């Protein structure tokens, strides 16, 4: 569950040279949350183990708020929990409990290392999302508990919306390419 010490956009990271593109632009801010805590379980037993641990699971392809974290149910037995760095205790405790459990309990899907996590917000957000993703992510069509597992900025990604912003999870090795695509307006500059 420990976040990686060096994320791609960090100094010394693989996408360090692209990091200035993050920035806080007035119309579309992009911030890197790749170092934020999260925990993914996958495989037979993962949903049952989490339910037994008191995590309320939504239906597949839906998200919900549980005690202290957001639960992404990406499939019947593919679940990722998103933590908040300001209050990581609940997620840390759950991870420790999972590590100590005998199983069956699924296996770690290493979301904290394999996924990059970007947070997008700003006046131009809806326009940018429309150009970066074929799924209609406008709030009136994309309900708050929805998850889009689709193509975003020309890579496979998971997209959710919280508090009006959009959050995108994708292969961390594609960090630089995705940020360039976002900043160049959907890959068609």
Partner 1 sequence: MKLLSCPLNGPRNIEEFQYLGPLRGRPDPDALSDADWARHLFRAENRPGAMLEWWRHRPSNYVFLAERHTVTNAVIRTFDPSELEPGA
Among 53, 56, 134, 173, binds partner 1 (CB under 8 A): 134
Number of chain residues interacting with partner 1 (CB under 8 A): 14
Q: Does 78 bind partner 1 (CB under 8 A)?
A: yes
Nearest to partner 1 of 76, 85 (CB atom): 76
Q: How far apart are CA 144 and CA 60, in angstroms?
A: 14
Nearest to partner 1 of 13, 73 (CB atom): 73
Helix residue ranges, H only, the chain:
46-52, 89-100, 111-114, 125-132, 175-183
Nearest to partner 1 of 33, 73 (CB atom): 73
Shortest Å distance, C-beta 186 to partner 1: 14
Helix residue ranges, H only, 59-167:
89-100, 111-114, 125-132
Shortest Å distance, C-beta 78 to partner 1: 8
Q: Does 70 bind partner 1 (CB under 8 A)?
A: no
Q: Does 131 bind partner 1 (CB under 8 A)?
A: no
CA distances from 42 to 48, 50, 53, 54, 127 (A): 11, 11, 15, 17, 34
The interface region with partner 1, picked from 93-101, 114-122, 154-162, 177-185 by CB under 8 A, is 154-162
Which pair of tokens denotes residue 88? 């990581």
Element at 107 (helix H, strand E): strand 107-108
Nearest to partner 1 of 60, 185 (CB atom): 60
3-state helix, strand, coil in the chain (%, to 5): 25, 30, 45
- Binding residues (CB under 8 A) for partner 1: these are 60-61, 74-75, 78, 134-135, 148-151, 156-158
């Amino acid at each position: 569950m420990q976040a990686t010490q060096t994320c791609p956009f960090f100094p010394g990271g693989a996408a360090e040279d692209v990091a200035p593109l993050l920035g806080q632009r007035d119309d579309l801010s992009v911030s890197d949350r790749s170092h934020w805590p999260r925990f993914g379980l996958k495989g037979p037993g993962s949903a049952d183990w989490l339910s037994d641990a008191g995590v309320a699971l939504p239906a597949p392809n839906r998200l919900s708020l549980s005690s202290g974290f957001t639960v992404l149910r990406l499939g019947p037995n593919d679940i990722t929990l998103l933590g908040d760095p300001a209050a990581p205790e609940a997620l840390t405790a759950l991870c420790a409990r999972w590590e100590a459990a005998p199983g069956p309990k699924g296996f770690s899907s290493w979301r904290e290392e394999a996924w990059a996590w970007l947070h997008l917000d700003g006046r131009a957000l809806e326009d940018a999302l429309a150009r970066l993703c074929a799924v209609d992510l406008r709030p009136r069509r994309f309900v708050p508990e929805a998850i889009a597992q689709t193509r975003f900025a020309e890579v496979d990604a998971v997209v959710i919306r919280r508090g009006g912003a959009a959050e995108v999870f994708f292969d961390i090795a594609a960090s630089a390419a995705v940020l360039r695509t976002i900043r160049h307006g959907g890959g068609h500059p």
